[in-house]
Chains A and B, each alone.
Chain A
Amino acid sequence: GESVGLHLPTLSVQEGDNSIINCAYSNSASDYFIWYKQESGKGPQFIIDIRSNMDKRQGQRVTVLLNKTVKHLSLQIAATQPGDSAVYFCAENYQAGTALIFGKGTTLSVSS
């Protein structure tokens, strides 16, 4: 079936650096994508989303880029802070009212 995957299981950065977390998706019919942050002992927390009619969307310190040609999604975190340390999941949805399909997750570790 369709699946969403991530290129790197772990990413270690220094505080203040910019972080880039990548995700490859396989369903070209997917039209909605979400990034979640999951801290230890908590549920996934919504960070930012993007629809397939967009290439880029910015939030507070975060930017999501969508490349539909190669079915690639990335999350950029500017000026990474220790509080950004968590597991990050991308998820895709190809139809409203259906469940999300999650990627495998990337663990971001930020050292100060």
Chain B
Amino acid sequence: SAVISQKPSRDICQRGTSLTIQCQVDSQVTMMFWYRQQPGQSLTLIATANQGSEATYESGFVIDKFPISRPNLTFSTLTVSNMSPEDSSIYLCSAEGQGETQYFGPGTRLLVL
């Protein structure tokens, strides 16, 4: 299984600012994904982080708001730009291991005031 870490684990931010979340995997993986989880809700896919090319975004999520980097096979970042209180959520990184199993990081808990 892949071990995934995220930084920061939580943050409180002012509206209008941006936060970059880092995701590190302990092994090389082809597929990495970013999800958002609103309080008490399920997980919603934001985008697929493609290594060497632009991320693929789901409907409702745009690159200007959630720019993603994937510089190599073990690391990705998600930036939440120009934040508003509606962006308060848990942001989760996942990576696909062997046999399509996806493993998740611990999440980044974001509160926007």
A36 to chain B, nearest CB (A): 8
Known pairs A34-B101, A45-B104, A93-B100; A103 contacts B42 (CB<8 A): yes
Dominant secondary structure at the B interface: strand
Q: Does B45 contact A (CB under 8 A)?
A: yes
CA–CA, A102 and B35, complex, Å:
11
Residues facing B in A83-112 (CB within 8 A) are: 89, 91, 93, 96-105
Known pairs A43-B92, A46-B1; A96 contacts B100 (CB<8 A): yes
| CB closest residue in chain A, given B44 | A102
| CB closest residue in chain A, given B10 | A41
Tier of interface size on chain B: 20 to 34
B71 to chain A, nearest CB (A): 20
Q: Does A44 contact B (CB under 8 A)?
A: yes
Contacting pair A49 B101 (CB below 8 A): yes
Residues facing B in A31-52 (CB within 8 A) are: 32, 34, 36, 41-46, 49
CA–CA, A104 and B105, complex, Å:
19
Contacting pair A97 B30 (CB below 8 A): yes
Contacting pair A46 B103 (CB below 8 A): yes
User: Can you list, as one digit per residue, whether each of B13-45 has a CB less than 8 Å from chain A (1) or not (0)?
Assistant: 000000000000000001101010000011111
Q: Does B76 contact A (CB under 8 A)?
A: no
Q: 3 tightest A-B contacts by CB?
A: A43-B104, A102-B43, A99-B45
Instruction: List residues of chain B with CB under 8 Å of any chain A CB.
Output: 1, 4, 30-31, 33, 35, 41-45, 48, 92, 94, 96, 99-107, 109
Instruction: List residues of chain A with CB under 8 Å of any chain B CB.
Output: 32, 34, 36, 41-46, 49, 89, 91, 93, 96-105
5 contacts between A and B (CB under 8 A): A41-B109, A96-B100, A99-B45, A99-B48, A100-B94
